[in-house]
């Protein structure tokens, strides 16, 4: 269950700042009620939300009689009002699709996912969810977690598998090949359509033999993944194979764990995880996935339990939360340049800089405050950044350890990362391009793997960025020191449930990061115009900060139409049509004034641009008061945010009184055409606690 972040925020008046606080801030808790609000997202087998017509209800377990509460569809979710307790949640969808699971409803209600499937379908486990899938023995997916050359290798593999393949048909759905009829997702996934599904095991063995001959390193390092595509839609690709994360009970010795795993014919790939000491990554041979899941389920259900939990090591598609068009192709765009170029929407950053300077503090951020940007990389040749002065700049996008941005083979895999970094660390007062909000802070830039994600590597990168050495030496032997106290992530994996490994990673970072004060992990909410809890489990996690996007509509500031929303949103930033940096080599972007080669973008936008503004302002806050806990830093951002669009009382994104009925709408005392005072009395499912205000934030901690 994902708690509403409104329930996890603590009142700012309780924090030991030793400074005067904003007067009259109320406690961020709701009053006790006999019934609580429960939200349910019902997912089709391809992960998207059920369009309409599902029936959802919960039946209380252990009560006599057993009351049943029916859900009402509001927007994209199903809402239920019921007392806290243990329930069986049942959802029925189109055709024969059904989902059933046990849920524990706490006193603050919460959100639950229900994944539809037909009776008899196999399932895989991820976090707390059992996800059914339509098994297809006709398709094999191969992922190689090593640097290329992809095309030459795939050509050779395709030739090797000709006796097995069905020509002219590579995969159902909308997932299209990029440069070969059997490759897709940036040429990183090879698909094989079998002529005869009975030869699946034989084809699987042939693929392993192929790599043992041509890329033995890939086999030795366990970097070849051969499995089943359970979702084959672009943007939501998902594959499972014989790998699982298994957590053993506390006190289980290494020898006992190995004996159990190897006795089942599996191998241990990894037995050291910083965020979870009893966590192992194991691999079964072959691809009888349902038998493997049944065995792990039996281990978990035994008395006493042999394992505490398990989940599939899923490979999923990761997406940058980009603006849909850049540069735009609108006929009147040239007439809009002056407005877009002059309005950077940096949330009172100039005022914050002046305030810090007047206090004798580094106005552009202290060099002792480190921000990590995890994205698609940067352009080392751009004149508005300086790779040589960064605390760390590494390329982990191709699974090659220790590759720095200064390596001649390095290049960003998308322009997105330059625009994100430009808002945080672009040079200031150099008469070039645009301005970053906290260029004086310590900068760490990391290229993450493009397109594909799994919890092992992604978790390692997050921990490494925060200054923790990897038990395996990947992604790099020596982490930055100090590590990042703020980590910006303008990306996500759409519709992917929260894995236990990622949950452990987030909890470790907020407990142990930044000298045990906790790292602030900032995620863009995403750009689907949907409840964030249904589509982005990382942004909606209670230990991360979820940032939505607002935009100017004429003179008014309103929520951007495609910004994801929900009670998990912490705050928003004005993120549409923002000036930032662009790659030097991309001629589709204009050149910066005063430069013959460096380029910029005038239209960076969406939640991808809103998140780095929040991360950068967080660095200014820590510049003013370095000893804040991560939760105090988050609360400062939220409780100094401005209320905007005050008349918005829509059911999906309007303002709500925190201490009253969560379905209440409207915001009293807010001027119809003005901006309300900062504070915690109200929150919005569209804006969180309001729009970022850097000046308010630094004034609070450095009065």
**593 lies in the same domain as 455:** yes
Whether residue 305 sits in one domain with residue 341: no
Instruction: Give the Cα separation of 546 and 5 in Å (integer).
Output: 9
- What is the reported pLDDT for 5? 54
Question: 600-617 pLDDT, tens per residue?
Answer: 776 788 999 999 999 999
Among the three residues 98, 120, 142, which one is the final residue of a domain in this structure?
A: 120
The pLDDT-based confidence of 383 (bands split at 50, 70, 90) is confident
The CATH number for 552's domain is 3.40.50.200
pLDDT-derived band at 298 (thresholds 50, 70, 90) equals: very high
What are the beta bridge partners of residue 247?
Answer: 279, 309
In the prediction, which pLDDT does 603 show? 75
Residues 676, 645: Cα–Cα separation, whole Å = 9
Mean pLDDT, residues 465-486: 92
Chain-wide mean pLDDT for the chain?
Answer: 83
Domain membership flag for residue 21: yes
Position 27 confidence tier, pLDDT thresholds 50, 70, 90: very low
Pairing of strands 392-395, 442-447: parallel
pLDDT at 178: 53
Same domain flag for 421 and 299: no
pLDDT score recorded for residue 213: 92
Pairing state between β 85-92 and 267-270:
unpaired
Q: Is residue 108 part of a domain?
A: yes
Number of domains the chain is built from: 3
Q: Are 435 and 426 in contact (CB under 8 A)?
A: yes
Per the DSSP assignment, residues forming a β-bridge with 268 are 282
Tallying the residues shown for the chain, one arrives at 703
Same domain, 293 and 342: no
- Average pLDDT value for residue range 494-513: 96
> What string of DSSP letters covers 181-243?
TTEETTTTEEEEEBS-GGGHHHHHHHHHHHHHHH-HHHHHTT-EEEEEEEE-STTS-EEE-SE
pLDDT-wise least confident of 228-242, 326-340, 535-549 = 326-340
Q: What is the mean pLDDT of residues 31-37?
A: 67
Of residues 648 and 573, the one with the higher pLDDT is 573
What is the pLDDT averaged over residues 489-515? Answer: 96
Containing domain of residue 87, as a range? 5-120
The answer to whether position 167 is within a domain reads no
The per-residue pLDDT for 673 is: 39
Sign of CA dihedral 426, 427, 433, 434: positive
Q: Does position 82 have pLDDT exceeding 70, yes or no? A: yes
Q: Report CA-CA distances (Å) from 134 to 94, 131, 229, 230.
A: 15, 10, 10, 7
- What confidence score (pLDDT) does residue 61 get? 94
CATH (domain of 285)? 3.30.70
Instruction: Tell me, yes or no, whether 275 and 418 share the same domain.
Output: no
Residue 658 has pLDDT above 80, yes or no: no
The whole-angstrom separation of Cα 323 and Cα 317 is 18
pLDDT greater than 90 at residue 150: no
Out of 29-43, 117-131, 306-320, 520-534, pick the least confident.
Answer: 29-43
Residue 238 has pLDDT above 50, yes or no: yes
| Residue where a domain stops, chosen among 100, 120, 140 | 120
pLDDT of residue 3: 47
Mean pLDDT of 189-199: 86
Torsion of CA 495, 496, 498, 500, to 10 degrees: 170
Both 308 and 342 in one domain: the answer is no
Q: Is the pLDDT of residue 561 over 80?
A: yes
Q: Tell me if 103 sits within 8 A of 118, measured CB to CB.
A: no
As a whole number, mean pLDDT of residues 492-496 equals 94
- The mean pLDDT of 550-558, rounded to a whole number, is 83
Same domain, 286 and 399: no
pLDDT at residue 294 is higher than 50: yes
DSSP string, 604-673: E-SHHHHHHHHHHHHHHHHHH-TT--HHHHHHHHHHTPBB-STT---TTT-EEETTS-TT----TT--TT
Residue 663, pLDDT > 50, answer: no
Question: Is 498 in the same domain as 380?
Answer: yes
- Position 664 scores a pLDDT of 42
What's the whole-number mean pLDDT along residues 159-171?
73
Domain identity same for 587 and 631: yes
State whether 441 and 545 are in the same domain: yes
- Is the peptide bond preceding residue 475 cis, with omega within 30 degrees of 0? yes
Tell me the per-residue pLDDT of 254-292, one tens digit each, with 9 for 90 and over.
999 999 999 999 999 999 999 999 999 999 998 899 999
- Residue 548 within a domain: yes
pLDDT score for 322: 66
Instruction: Among 166-175, 365-374, 652-661, name the one with the lowest average pLDDT.
Output: 166-175
Q: What is the pLDDT of residue 680?
A: 55
DSSP-based three-state secondary structure for 166: coil
196 inside domain: no
Tell me if 134 is assigned to some domain: no
**Could you tell me if 43 and 56 are in contact, meaning their C-beta atoms sit under 8 angstroms apart?**
no
Look at residue 645 in the predicted model and tell me its pLDDT: 83
The domain that contains 33 carries what CATH number?
2.60.40.1110
Q: Measure CA 158 to chain center.
A: 34
- pLDDT for 17: 38
Task: Assign 442 to helix, strand or coil.
Answer: strand
Residues 359 and 271 in one domain: no
> Which position has the higher pLDDT, 120 or 348?
120
Q: Is residue 524 assigned to a domain?
A: yes
Residue 52: pLDDT band with limits 50, 70, 90: confident
Q: Is the pLDDT of residue 87 over 80?
A: yes
Instruction: Note the helical H segments in 427-477.
Output: 455-465
Contact 570, 637 (CB under 8 A): yes
Q: Is 310 a residue whose pLDDT tops 60? A: yes
| Contact indicator for 666, 326 with CB cutoff of 8 Å | no
The answer as to whether 371 is a domain residue is yes
Q: Where is pLDDT greater, at 579 or 16? A: 579
Neighbours of 263 (CB within 10 A): 8
pLDDT digits (tens, 9 = 90+) for 2-12: 445 544 443 33
pLDDT at 518 over 60: yes
Provide DSSP, 479-494. Answer: --SSPPSEEEE-EE-T
- Name the residue among 698, 589, 680 with its Cα closest to residue 643: 680
pLDDT tops 80 at residue 30 = no
The Cα angle at residue 108 between residues 104 and 110, in degrees rounded to 5: 60
Indicate whether 305 and 393 sit together in one domain: no
Residue at a domain's end among 76, 96, 120: 120
For position 327, what pLDDT does the model report? 39
pLDDT of residue 207: 92
Q: Where residue 33 falls among pLDDT bands split at 50, 70, 90?
A: very low
Say which residue, 142 or 486, is predicted with more confidence: 486
- Give the C-alpha separation, 56 to 93, whole Å: 9
- Average pLDDT score over residue span 323-345: 34
The predicted structure's pLDDT at residue 681:
60
**With b meaning 16 or more CB within 10 Å and e meaning fewer, what string describes 217-238?**
ebeeeebbbbbbbbbbbeebbb
Mean pLDDT of 410-435: 86
């Amino acid at each position: 269950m994902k708690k509403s972040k409104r329930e996890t925020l603590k009142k700012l008046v309780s924090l030991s700042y030793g400074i005067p606080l904003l007067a009259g801030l109320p406690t961020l808790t709701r009053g006790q009620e006999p019934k609580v609000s429960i939200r349910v997202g019902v997912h089709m087998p391809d992960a998207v939300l059920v369009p309409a017509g599902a029936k959802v209800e919960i039946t209380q377990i252990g009560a006599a009689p057993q009351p049943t509460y029916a859900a009402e569809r509001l927007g994209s979710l199903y809402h239920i009002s019921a007392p806290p307790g243990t329930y069986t949640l049942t959802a029925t969808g189109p055709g024969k699709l059904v989902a059933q699971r046990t849920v524990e409803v706490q006193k603050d209600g919460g959100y639950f996912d229900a994944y539809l499937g037909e009776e008899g379908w196999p399932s895989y486990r991820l976090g707390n969810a059992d996800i059914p899938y339509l098994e297809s023995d006709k398709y094999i997916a191969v992922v190689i977690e090593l640097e290329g050359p992809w095309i030459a290798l795939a050509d050779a593999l395709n030739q090797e598998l000709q006796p097995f393949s069905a020509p002219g048909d590579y995969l159902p759905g909308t997932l299209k090949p990029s440069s070969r009829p059997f490759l897709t997702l940036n040429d990183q996934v090879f698909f094989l359509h079998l002529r005869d599904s009975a030869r699946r095991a034989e084809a699987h063995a042939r693929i392993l033999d192929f790599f043992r001959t041509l890329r033995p390193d890939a086999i030795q390092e366990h970097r070849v993944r051969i499995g089943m595509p359970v979702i084959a839609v672009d943007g939501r690709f998902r594959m499972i194979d014989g790998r699982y994360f298994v957590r053993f009970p506390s006190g289980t010795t290494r020898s006992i764990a190995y004996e159990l795993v190897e006795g089942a014919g599996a191998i241990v790939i990894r037995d050291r995880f910083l965020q979870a000491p009893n966590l192992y990554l194991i691999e079964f041979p072959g691809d009888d996935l349902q038998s493997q899941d049944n065995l792990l389920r039996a281990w978990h259900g035994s008395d006493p339990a042999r394992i505490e939990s398990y989940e599939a090591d899923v490979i999923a598609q990761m997406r940058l939360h980009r603006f849909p068009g850049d540069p735009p192709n609108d006929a009147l765009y040239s007439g809009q340049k002056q407005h877009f170029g002059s309005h950077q929407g940096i949330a009172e950053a100039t005022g914050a800089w002046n305030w810090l300077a007047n206090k004798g503090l580094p106005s552009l951020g202290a060099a002792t405050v480190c921000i990590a940007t995890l994205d698609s990389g940067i352009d080392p040749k751009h004149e508005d950044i300086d790779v040589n002065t960064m605390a760390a700049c590494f390329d982990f996008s191709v699974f090659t350890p220790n590759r720095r941005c200064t390596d001649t083979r390095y290049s960003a895999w998308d322009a997105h990362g330059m625009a994100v970094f430009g808002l945080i660390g672009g040079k200031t007062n150099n008469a070039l391009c645009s301005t970053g909000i906290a260029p004086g802070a310590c900068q760490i830039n990391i290229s993450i793997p493009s397109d594909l994600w799994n919890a092992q590597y992604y978790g390692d990168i997050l921990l490494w960025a925060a200054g923790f050495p990897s038990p395996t030496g990947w992604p790099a032997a020596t982490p930055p020191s100090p590590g990042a106290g703020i980590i910006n992530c303008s990306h996500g994996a759409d519709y992917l449930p929260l894995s236990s490994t990622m949950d452990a990673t987030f909890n470790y970072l907020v407990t142990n990061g930044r000298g045990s004060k906790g790292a602030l992990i900032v995620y863009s909410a995403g750009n689907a115009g949907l409840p964030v809890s249904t589509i982005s489990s990382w942004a909606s996690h209670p230990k991360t900060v979820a940032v939505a996007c607002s935009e100017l509509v004429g003179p008014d500031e309103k929520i951007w139409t495609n910004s994801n929303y929900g009670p998990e949103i912490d705050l928003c930033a004005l993120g549409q049509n923002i000036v930032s940096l662009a790659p030097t080599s991309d001629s589709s972007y204009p050149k910066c004034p005063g430069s013959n080669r460096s380029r910029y973008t005038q239209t960076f936008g969406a939640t991808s641009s809103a998140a780095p503004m929040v991360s950068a302002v967080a660095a200014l806050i820590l510049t003013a008061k370095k000893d804040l806990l991560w939760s105090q830093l988050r609360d400062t951002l939220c409780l100094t945010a401005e209320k905007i669009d005050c008349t918005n009382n829509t059911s999906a994104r309007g303002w709500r009184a925190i201490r009253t009925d969560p379905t209440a709408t409207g915001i009293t005392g807010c001027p119809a055409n003005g901006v309300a005072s900062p504070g915690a009395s109200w929150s919005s499912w569209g804006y969180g606690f309001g729009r970022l205000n850097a000046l308010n934030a630094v004034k609070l901690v450095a009065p």
